[in-house]
Amino acid sequence: MLTLAGQTFRSRWTAFVGTFVALCLGVCLLATTGLTLAASVTGTDRAAQWYRNADVVLTGPKAISVSTGTGDERYTSTTGTAYSRPVPAELVARLGAVPGVASAVPDRQVPVDLAGTAGIARPWSAAALGGYGPLSGRPPTVDGEVVSTSPGGHRPGDRIPVQTPDGPRTFTVSGVLAPVSGAADEDAPALAFLTDRTAAALAGDRITAVALRAGDGISAGTLAERVRAAAPGFRVLTGDERRAAEPDPDGDELAIAASLLGTTAGVATFVSVFVVAGTFSFAVAQRRREFALLRTTGATPRQIRRLVLGEAVLVGVLAGLAGSALSLVTAPPYAHWLARSGFAPENFTARFILWPLLAASGVGLLVALLGAGVAARRAARVRPVEALREASVDTRVMGWGRWLFGLLFLGGAVLLLTALPEIGVSDGLAMIMLVAQLALAAAGLLAPVLIRVLVPLLGAPLRGQTGMLARSNALSALRRTSATATPILVTVGIAATTLPLTATLWQAEQRSARERVTAGAVATASGPVGLAEPTVAALGRVAGVRAAVPSRSGEVYVRSDDYAEEYSARYVGAGLDRVLRLPVVAGSVDGLTGTDTVAVSRSMGWRVGDRVQVWLADTTEVRLRVVAVLADSIDLDRTLLLPWELGRAHQPGGGADVVYLDGGDPAALDAAAVAGGGRVLPTAEHLVVGDAVQYERNRVALLAVLGMALLYTGIAIANTLVMATNDRRRELAVLRLTGATPGQVLRMIGLEAVLVGLAGTALAALVAAAMLAGLRARLAELVAHPQISVPWLPITLIAAGCLLAAVLASLVPTVLALRTPAAQLAGVRE
């Protein structure tokens, strides 16, 4: 049968063009997202720059480990964190006494704003560790002096304003360092080398890393082993690993890109699997007459299955190779678009990596085998006596498998939908996509049942013989109708579910946040440092100010069963209830003081007085006492409110993201904020600006996730309908021989295409309506009078585009087929 599969493939290669196109483009879609995802995960391969003259670098742990069980069944889960824990000062002294250590230099990294440019302040003693060449000028000798790096454009003697964690200061440039050739990173932040005493004061005595040099005759590896023994639990880095102790200028953007591309890869996998499996199943169903004849000539069901699977392997291998090669052309432009959109570093690109290509080709081949195998089993089960009748009429389209998995997917979508408001848009984009995929998969599996109802309703307005034929053809050939409607369902459904779900959730979040803020004005930072505490104090001293409450966002980790789960955190100052309307149901936010208190949402399951185990962003473990419990709300869910003093103790380098202001003269407030590197806006204007920025970011993120998938499904619509129309050439010839004119045939085919397109769109609309109704019911528990937001324009354009593609893909091959005389067309080989 494998030999026969090769022979049928060579003799009937045109019959496999549709499945080849679907699989080739599906593999290309998977490989394109895989290549860009791999590029974002692998990150930079640059060598260490700051510590190139250090043999070993020690820095704090950057992960949280949670252990469960005992003995041989003990299991440890590790969760990476945003920052590393500071190095204790006493450890530096111990490291200096380790045998073989020639010097131990503590390094501190403090975010600053150098005359409007994001930078990092470090002690002058760290300048000799590497990355910079000769000094033009002299080292800093007093607290008001700074040595800057040459990209800043400063010269010795210049006085430059610097926003620091201790407030605005003016420094005198004593010298300028030029980078060593090939060592400087264009995207790296500017550096300001201060006296060791000034850097330590700005860092709050926090030590970021310790650079160690080995004595004569001691290798870096030997020294590293000795340091690990002296400092267990800390990271000891050598070679290129030393760059892990340096700021990664692309780290945040690569993390965003990896997260976004992970969601994109999930959507790409879903649509490609859905389309490829459906296309292969439809292609096999088109050949039922051929399989029927093979059965009547003595072929066994096993031989039929082997024949179909052999053909699927041949198509899968060829399409996998072609799709992988095509992805090498499409992946770099997609990566560049991500960079231009702000979701990846400026120099981000996709390059040849073997494993994404192998994975995409493997998935494509597996899906081809599954799609062809399921259809082949159905065709092979026909008994020889019934074979010809089975090949001509669709009798039993819905099997138990379609019912089972359709209902399972539907139930999964409903369950996940109820959890969406607890996650929100920023963290729940992947969940939104998963809900949409499950719902659309359920609709696709149950499509034959739904189409039996939709086609008569949608076709009721059709009059005349052509309308009647179009309606009856769609109903009698349910396999064909379902197969051609499914790509439309997926294309329109993805847009009609994800866009409204995202817009509705985002609008609910913004509305809740708007209603929560009672402050009259908000001060925001314009640079990376934030508003330093002296600036916050200056805002509070403005005449008429009743409250100036700083707030800074971050993340914390809370133990959930056997791992540390990430939660949002907001460090807030005293007087929070004066500027925010908080839904306190137990306790009081007035108790949110000191360094050991926390306010939580009711859904977290804690009560006032409970002690909560929390890890901060720098892996520091703290136990906090619950002083207030808040009612569940969409904008504060999964958020811990922490006292400002706790953030000051563990992240002294970070200022306030915003300062909520109650009272005070706007001009005086703005003057105080500008002096500290910020600005003051009325609350309404601040929220509008923030909403616009977030909305645009959400829009571009959705475009990145859905763009290529929608393009692929759009092509799949045309591909499937071309396959279906080409298979009906003899049917068209029979209509011509019975007296139908070419115009009547074209009208029938066109009306049937419109009917199928409307059926697919209606299925998508039903899914979207059900999802939005469920989301609204869940939101009603969290937001008063929730509103559904539907971006009609893009959804309508996508639906219209699908309908146009369906009509054109049906009419064009019909026109070509009608050029052949009817008698000749009726005698073509199937």
Q: Looking at residues 400-428, what average pLDDT do you find?
A: 69
C-alpha 629/C-alpha 604 separation (Å) is 9
Per-residue pLDDT at 33:
85
Buried b (16+ CB within 10 A) or exposed e, 323-352: bbebbbebbbebbbbbbeeebbbeebbbee
Pick from 509-523, 605-619, 698-712 the range whose average pLDDT is largest.
Answer: 605-619
- pLDDT number for residue 387: 47
Percentage of residues of the chain with pLDDT beyond 90: 14
pLDDT at residue 727 in the model: 67
Check whether 210 has a pLDDT greater than 90. Answer: yes
pLDDT (tens digit per residue) in 755-764: 888 888 888 8
Distances, alpha carbon 772 to alpha carbons 303, 312, 432, 702, in Å: 48, 39, 12, 18
pLDDT tens track for 648-690: 877 766 788 899 999 888 899 989 888 888 888 888 887 777 6
- Please say whether the beta carbons of 352 and 328 come within 8 A: yes
Q: Which residue has the tokens 């030029």?
A: 178
Give 72's pLDDT tier (boundaries 50, 70, 90): low
Query: How many Cβ atoms are within 10 Å of 384's Cβ, its own excluded?
Result: 14
Task: Give the bridge partners for 522, in sequence order.
Answer: 660, 681
Closest of 730, 801, 777 to residue 286, by C-alpha: 730
Contact (CB, 8 A) for 107 and 87: no
Mean pLDDT of 513-531: 83
Q: What are 554's two structure tokens?
A: 């971050």
Distance CA 86, CA 650 (A): 9
Q: How far is CA 339 from CA 36, 93, 504, 583, 706, in A?
A: 11, 44, 28, 40, 17
Task: Give residue 500's identity as a one-letter amino acid code.
Answer: P
* Distance from C-alpha of 283 to C-alpha of 277, rounded to nearest angstrom: 10
For residues 446 and 540, which has the higher predicted lDDT (pLDDT)? Answer: 540
Mean pLDDT of all residues in the chain?
80
Give the range among 90-94, 295-299, 811-815 with minimum mean pLDDT: 295-299
Lowest-confidence region among 331-335, 447-451, 601-605: 447-451
Among 16-30, 426-440, 640-654, the minimum mean pLDDT is found in 426-440
Q: How far is CA 323 from the centre of its chain?
A: 24
Terminal-residue alpha carbon distance, the chain:
20
Say which residues have a Cβ less than 8 Å from residue 677's Cβ, sequence separation at least 6.
113, 163, 168, 525, 526, 527, 529, 531, 535
CA distance 722 to 22: 12
pLDDT at 223 exceeding the cut of 50: yes
pLDDT tens across 286-340, in order?
A: 666 677 677 777 777 777 777 777 877 888 888 889 989 999 998 888 888 888 8
pLDDT of residue 427: 53
Average pLDDT over residues 172-190: 69
**Residues 6 or more apart whose Cβ sits within 8 Å of residue 684:** none
Query: Measured between alpha carbons, how far is 731 from 458 in angstroms, rounded to an integer?
Result: 24
* Minimum mean pLDDT range among 405-414, 435-444, 710-719, 731-740: 731-740
Q: Binning pLDDT at 50, 70 and 90, where does residue 393 land?
A: very low
Structure tokens at 343: 């979701």
pLDDT in tens, 654-663: 788 899 999 8
| The pLDDT value given to residue 628 | 93
**Residue with more model confidence, 318 or 817:** 318
Q: pLDDT (tens digit, 9 = 90+) per residue, 544-585?
A: 999 999 999 888 898 877 778 888 889 999 888 889 888 889
Q: What is the dihedral of CA 217, 220, 222, 228, to 10 degrees?
A: 140
Band of pLDDT at residue 392, cut at 50, 70 and 90 = very low
The arithmetic mean of pLDDT across residues 197-226, rounded, is: 90
